[in-house]
A and B are shown apart, each in its own frame.
Chain A
Amino acid sequence: MNIRPHYFNLAILFFTGLILALIVFILITMYIRNRRGGKLKKWKLMANLLIRKAIFFEDDGDNNKTIQLTQRTHQLLNADPHFRELLTGELLNARKNISGTSAGNLKQLYLQLSLQNFAVERLKSLKWYIKAQAIQELAVMGIKEQITHIYRFTNHAKELVRMEAQMAVVKLYGFEGLRFLDVVSYPITEWQQIRLLHELSHTPAENFSGIEKWLKSENKTVIVFALKLARDYHRFELYHAITACLPDHDPDVRLQAIITLGELYRDDTAALLISRLLKEDIKHQLAIVKVLKNIAAEQDMPVLLDLLNTGNPQLQLGVAKSLAGLGPEGMKALQHHPLADKHPLDQIINQIKSEVAV
């Protein structure tokens, strides 16, 4: 054996040293954490007292009146960045859950403590999560002065920075903030779309513009988002622009257009969707059938009955539900279908009957 045990001895020594170092590091970390735990509790209490004071603060019409701070708070703010971080965090949490005058008071406290200066400084950080945190902080506290900076980040290469900047402009400017959709070249994830729609739901819906342009965007995720906006804000005047999305080559756009038409439909929508049915894959066919359940009318009955002949039981179930949705006539037609007593339609009809009974 030519391998020298010497090398292994060195490796063993190295591993052992590393093990000891890691164990010591773990124990010291835990010790510091446990010690800091007590201090953090005290600080948290101080921060919460201050926040409570700010929430119930009344300026009696005197705009120059400031929220009184204790000497200890002043000292800590200047001396300990950890305390500043904690206080900022607590302020943000409180601000997220409070609106009205109290929210304004929290902003006043934030400005009084000059915390926005630290956030602006962090906007310049090269670390994406620090930059994103700063954007979120400024947006939550409603600091509009940095909007030019923040707006530039709405198409930032780092996903989180981009997402927080998009949220910030919407938080600060409502529907007007959506103008970033004109230029955004990166995809807007479904998660981000949910967040944006949630944020917009807190803003009074004016007759905002832009959807028509976004429906023609090069960015397919912008089209999907625009379709959701049209649906949520009942923009019936965009009907033709929405139907124009039905033959789009992107499956997500087509799916969203189908779902949107389920909310913004006209007399001819059912026929239009039925005409698309056979050109689509099963996922989109099922989406169409689901929409038809709510919008199909008696004149669509012959086509629906014809669709029962497709071999796919899932589709048959959907079509049968659409027929049942047409009322007693639809149910009767369903039961008289030539396949009505054959599997699987017989079971499907039984299920629908029992659902109707419940």
Chain B
Amino acid sequence: MSWQTIITDIFTYCILGYSVLLLMCYVFIGIYSIGETNNYLHKNSFTDYRILAGSTQAPSISILAPAYNEGANIIENVRSLLSIHYNNMEVIIINDGSRDDSLDKLIAAYDLYKADFFVNQQIATKNVRGVYKSRNNVYRKLWVVDKDNGGKADALNVGVNIARNDYIVCIDVDCILEQDALLKLAKPFLENPGQRVIATGGVIRIANGCEIEGGRLTRINLPKEFLPRVQTLEYIRAFLLGRMAWSRLNGLLLISGAFGAFDKEIVIKCGGYDHRTVGEDMELVVRMRRYMEERNEPYKVAFIPDPLCWTEAPATFKILGRQRNRWTRGTIETLKFHRVMFFNPDYGLLGMVSYPYWFFFEFLAPIVEFTGFVSFLVFSLFGWINWSFFLTLLAFIFSFGFLYSVFAILMEVLTYNQYKRQKDIVNLVITAFLEPLIFHPFVVWAAIKGNIDLLRKKNSWGEMTRQGLSQKKSSN
């Protein structure tokens, strides 16, 4: 046996072992999620959310929406937030030192005045310049906070300091919420006696291509452009399969920063959002879980499969690359901050399953893939490739990936069925076929760049230019 054969064999076995383990995880996630989704749908059929909407006993919620240079749509976005069906709530808009006219527009549109307000600095933040309230009683639920620029995490921490209610809902100001989104998100906090629900998340869907009027989604369409469409598929897979399975295990590590609810008391006890990372949403959930584990307090991070929030997905490779680069850096930073939990039985499922899964299959996966690709180039250059075996393995992985996506589409059709036309579903299946060829390699490359940027200590968010959803009736 030559040394080349030994090297290629060891390498191939390692990659194969890793891939088989990953595929087995996916199979488990896919199957395990079915029960949780089924259970939720059955339970939900008994729920009359109108009771909660009008109840004085409903959990009190503060919606925190950081805004930076959102002047173009801020008035409409705030109006949309104020019209949400929920009685016991306040809306806090945090103007994070915008350089545009966001604040002036808000002052004029909502008749705001600078109020004397004691800001309890329970979490250290940048300077708060002023807290504004409306003279008009119609907008009594609205608070606008003006502060020095400090990034999203800092803005959210200011919101936490100002919030007067028991639960905070963090939301991207340009997201479009379903009318009953808050009711659905609030309910898990009322349902688990003996186990404190510390956070709840819901499904985020892609709004590109949908019709929007007055800040409300009026018609759901599948995006016509490839990139938003492939992200639609990706989100269905991640939310309907991945997060539901992790929720059933009570091992969820991530609630999307675009829309999630948190127990304010625990957020404050944990020290709020960490502004040292660009993945502040994941980091907070991990820290909250760690906090509860270290105190041996029974807790749960809940997740519901209802589509609650619609957001605009990046439509160009440039913006998508920045987003995925940031997500990668956020994941690595979070894993690094909490490395003490790695295979640490003191942290139970969190330390023994959730953390290692994220380490091996979220952080390492693109690195392994990239290494595999580079090795393939080297091996083929030296003629060390067994082509028939290589092609068989490639077809194996490709067919599994395609199968997993088709299974996610099936789950979507059988549950929420947002895309009702057969044409749309066929389009999604075609997209699932093309994804490993076009989208996936790009995402892996963006993740590698994220790793490199992190090594170079680059910690910027990366500008996320959006086309805007409320500007036109149909965006694409």
Contacts and interface: CB of A to CB of B under 8 A. Distances in A.
Q: Is B a genuine binding partner of A? A: yes
Contacts of B43: 129, 160
B438 interface: no
A191 B413 contact: no
A183 interface: no
Given A30-B413, A30-B425, A189 B191 contact: yes
A224 B422 CA distance: 51
A212 to B, nearest CB: 22
Nearest to B41: A129
A194 B425 contact: no
Given A1-B9, A15-B403, A26-B413, A317 B51 contact: no
A351 B118 contact: yes
A26 B410 contact: yes
Q: Binding site of B, secondary structure by majority: helix, strand, loop or mixed?
A: helix
A8 B392 contact: yes
A11 interface: yes
A191 B55 CA distance: 11
B364 interface: no
Contacts, number: 124
B42 A12 contact: no
Contacts of B413: 26, 29-30
Interface in A125-139: 128-129, 132-133, 136
A344 B122 CA distance: 12
A11 B187 contact: no
B70 to A, nearest CB: 28
B393 A8 contact: yes
Interface in B50-109: 51-52, 55, 57-58
Contact of B403 (A19, A34, A314, A350): A19
Contacts of B410: 22, 25-26
Nearest to A22: B406
A16 interface: yes
Interface string B410-441: 10011001001010011001000000000000
Place the interface of chain A in its size category: 35 or more
Interface string B107-150: 00000000111111010000000000000000000000000000
B383 interface: no
Contacts of A194: 51-52, 55, 57-58, 190
Nearest to A350: B116
A199 to B, nearest CB: 9
A98 B5 CA distance: 79
B452 to A, nearest CB: 32
Contacts of B414: 29
Interface stretch (B318-326, B334-342, B394-402): B394-402
Contacts of B122: 314
A64 interface: no
A164 B120 contact: no
A129 B395 CA distance: 42
Nearest to A27: B422
A120 interface: no
Contacts of B225: none
B30 to A, nearest CB: 12
Contact of A351 (B48, B116, B403): B116
Interface string A267-307: 00000000000000001000000000000000000000000
Interface string B373-414: 000000000000010110011011001101100110110011
A353 interface: yes
B117 A1 contact: no
A356 B413 CA distance: 56
B471 interface: no
Contacts of B117: 351
Contacts of A313: 118, 120
A353 to B, nearest CB: 7
Contacts of A18: 403
Nearest to A220: B193
A187 B57 contact: no
A5 interface: yes
Interface in A301-343: 313-314, 317
Interface in B224-259: none
Nearest to B12: A1
B191 A191 contact: yes
Given A9-B392, A26-B410, A191-B191, A132 B46 contact: yes
Contacts of A27: 422, 425-426
A317 B12 contact: no
Contacts of A314: 120, 122
A133 B43 CA distance: 10
Interface in A1-46: 1, 3, 5, 8-9, 11-12, 15-16, 18-19, 22-23, 25-27, 29-31, 33-34
B147 to A, nearest CB: 16
Given A27-B425, A194-B51, A5 B403 contact: no
Contact of B190 (A15, A34, A133, A189): A189
Contacts of A19: 399, 402-403, 406
Of B42, B48, B119, most buried by chain A (CB within 10 Å of CB) is: B42
B16 interface: yes
Given A19-B406, A194-B57, A344-B118, A12 B46 contact: no
Ranked 7 nearest A-B pairs via Cβ: A187-B193, A15-B399, A190-B190, A354-B116, A191-B190, A129-B42, A350-B116
Given A1-B8, A129-B43, A198-B51, 6 more contacts: A12-B399, A27-B425, A195-B48, A195-B51, A197-B57, A228-B57
18 contacts: A1-B8, A1-B386, A15-B402, A15-B403, A16-B399, A22-B407, A23-B429, A26-B406, A27-B426, A129-B42, A136-B46, A189-B191, A194-B57, A195-B48, A195-B51, A221-B193, A347-B116, A351-B118
Interface of B: 8-9, 12, 16, 42-43, 45-46, 48, 51-52, 55, 57-58, 115-120, 122, 187, 189-194, 265, 386, 388-389, 392-393, 395-396, 399-400, 402-403, 406-407, 409-410, 413-414, 417, 420, 422, 425-426, 429
